[in-house]
Amino acid sequence: MIPGAFLAAVGQLGDPRFRMVLLKGVGITIGIFVAIYVLFVQVVGWFIGDGVNLPWVGTVTWVDDAVSWGAVPLMLLLSVVLMVPVASAVTGLFLDDVAQAVEDRHYPGLPPANELSLLDNIRDSLGFLGVLVLANVVALVLYLLLAPLAPFIFWGLNGFLLGREYFTLAAIRRVGRTGAAQLRRRYLPTIWIAGVLMAVPLTIPLVNLLVPILGAATFTHLFHRLEARAARR
Express each pLDDT in 178-212 by its tens digit: 999 999 999 999 999 999 998 888 777 777 778 88
What is residue 26's predicted lDDT score, i.e. its pLDDT? 78
pLDDT band of residue 136 (cuts 50, 70, 90) is confident
Q: Whose CA is closest to 133, among 151, 158, 109?
A: 158
Averaged over 2-11, what is the pLDDT? Answer: 92
Checking if the pLDDT of 157 tops 80, the result is yes
Range of 84-88, 91-95, 185-189 with top mean pLDDT: 185-189
pLDDT in tens, 215-233: 899 999 999 999 999 888 7
Q: How far apart are CA 227 and CA 233, in angstroms?
A: 10
Question: Of 2-16, 140-154, 195-209, 213-227, which range is least confident?
Answer: 195-209
Mean predicted confidence (pLDDT) in 164-178: 90
Instruction: Give the dihedral of Cα atoms 132, 79, 205, 220; nearest 10 deg.
Output: 40
Stretch 42-58: mean pLDDT, rounded? 57
pLDDT at 190: 95
Question: Is the per-residue pLDDT at 58 higher than 50?
Answer: no
- Distance of alpha carbon 179 from alpha carbon 185, whole angstroms: 10
Whole-angstrom Cα distance, residue 134 to residue 85? Answer: 12
What is the overall mean pLDDT for the chain?
Answer: 80
Across 25-39, 43-57, 138-152, the highest mean pLDDT is recorded for 138-152
Predicted local confidence at residue 180, as pLDDT: 92
**Rounded to 5°, angle at Cα 27 from 74 and 94:** 125
Q: Which residue has the higher pLDDT, 139 or 78?
A: 139
41 or 75: which carries more pLDDT confidence?
Answer: 41
Q: Quick one: which of 195, 216, 223, 154 has its CA closest to 18? A: 216
What's the pLDDT score for residue 69? Answer: 59
Angle between helix axes 95-106 and 150-186 (nearest 10 degrees) is 60
What pLDDT does residue 96 have? Answer: 87
